[in-house]
Structure 1
């Protein structure tokens, strides 16, 4: 039976892949995780939860082909930061090609909101390139398009990352930014992988946002929930460019153009979407 076939999740030891696996397991779906190192603590933990962990990487077509054997669906996520945007595009296209050749029925791609508009942000536009390639293959593709991760904000509140918090403050310039939790992304992706419908070749996009706050509101919410104000290092622009030009460029785009999805409509469809405060309380023990 199709339901007995596993779902392949790339990036299973990462944030998005891990969230997808969590929700697949909650639904009792058989899952297979692709990882470079099956002996890593995160991979071992996945195996202990019933995930089939297989060795491979997105630059090795032979290992991907083996991982695709007998699967019914794929969740794909690539990392533009570790190996660069060209590698991200190459990996995304190759995985799609190999999934098509393996007869995979459903393909869910981790993308980004605004993937198919001109942003001058290579790590955004690369995802649009991957989406269009997957569409050209005639696969049944769902592109999950999230806004800024709430998890990335929590990392910025750590004392060692105070300069990154300043990048966000300077980039937004008083404007608000839309936010989404990775756990919510994982839930939506798992639903897309498991939904019972007639396969339809083509591409559909699911835009995801759960909250919208400006920098001061983000800081005040954090201080209220955690009972500690985060430190912000006020840096001159030359230092900002030297330390983090890429993230600053992203935040600058978010402040200047950004995302403007109708949160009420999104929540009407998915009432469980987390606000930033809800997410903080669930993930900081407060």
Structure 2
């Protein structure tokens, strides 16, 4: 965690624009804010989608907009005091489209400033010990744009999502035929965080922007080894799950950046959130076992039963 001091303090306007509101982090954050009776405007591309309609039913305003349609951002940001920024993913088989990611983030920050938004919570990606290459370059550049924008800001850098165990049809992650396959070394701890806890940190920042302005928070709630996590899933669901470590060749086949992560993780690099310090800020920060007991095991059991 790090911080940058600023003598001025942001004021609080209750209306929060949540981007990515029908996705994972944005959806969790929108639901958390609505449950806390904060006014939420959700940026959506399709207001008729089930996820958008669910947010509307929970009390969110819907604003139709798109990062790639600049003219749609100004109306969405009108009257907004703060925003949750999570630009759409730009990963393809050819790797990360850094230029597009930076363009989207920069465009949104400029539109927010023009609209009079005072505070942005920007969620990016956790840094490796030496800020490894997996998805970081574009996000770090947008972080720099935000930090120099004149706006008040908080940057959240979440590690791997615990909910990634729900993924299906991908070469790594998820559970297939009792096997959880990934690229991480079996003998090293791997940090992860529950989506709902990312939402908690965002909510805390929106509630007290003066306190959280200038902070960069690396986020994780636990760090079991992958075999230990598989054993915990086995115990919680009654389905035998084992961990299978992917090879360097398999990582390279997914792209050069993935291969680089495989090598970095075997050089001792990894995510490095200060979990005890984060728990001081958010005492309910979920461990992996807590996440399983709360929601994870039931969802996983349903998937594995199927």
- Quote how far apart the aligned CAs of 1:13 are: 0.2
What is the TM-score when the length of structure 1 is the normalising length? 0.87
Whether 1:95 and 2:108 are equivalent positions in the alignment is: yes
**Map of 2:69 onto structure 1:** 60
Whether 1:242 and 2:253 are equivalent positions in the alignment is: yes
Query: CA offsets, 1:225-274, max 9 Å, x none?
Result: 11112366676653443246655544553453012333223223321000
Out of 147, 150, 157, the residue aligned to residue 174 of structure 2 is: 157
**Map of 1:179 onto structure 2:** 192
Distance (Å, rounded) in 1 between the aligned partners of 2:200 and 2:294: 16
Query: CA offsets, 1:113-142, max 9 Å, x none?
Result: 228954233x11221111110111111010
- Quote how far apart the aligned CAs of 1:279 are: 0.5
Distance (Å, rounded) in 2 between the aligned partners of 1:217 and 1:172: 12
CA contact 2:41–2:61 (8 Å) conserved in 1: yes
CA contact 1:211–1:274 (8 Å) conserved in 2: yes
**Map of 1:219 onto structure 2:** 230
Query: CA offsets, 1:146-202, max 9 Å, x none?
Result: 11111113423332795xx4333xx325211111111100111122122264896xx
| C-alpha RMSD over aligned residues | 2.7
Distance (Å, rounded) in 1 between the aligned partners of 2:272 and 2:128: 14
Out of 150, 167, 175, the residue aligned to residue 182 of structure 2 is: 167
What is the TM-score when the length of structure 2 is the normalising length? 0.81
Distance (Å, rounded) in 2 between the aligned partners of 1:187 and 1:218: 23
Give the secondary structure class of the aligned counterpart of 2:224. Answer: strand
Q: Gapped runs of 5+ residues in structure 2?
A: 1-10, 168-172, 302-306
Matched residue pairs, number? 278
CA contact 1:32–1:53 (8 Å) conserved in 2: yes
Q: Gapped runs of 5+ residues in structure 1?
A: none
Cα gap change, 1:158 to 1:50, in 2 (>3 Å): same
Query: CA offsets, 1:65-93, max 9 Å, x none?
Result: 11001101010002132683322211111
- Quote how far apart the aligned CAs of 1:213 are: 1.1
**Map of 1:271 onto structure 2:** 283
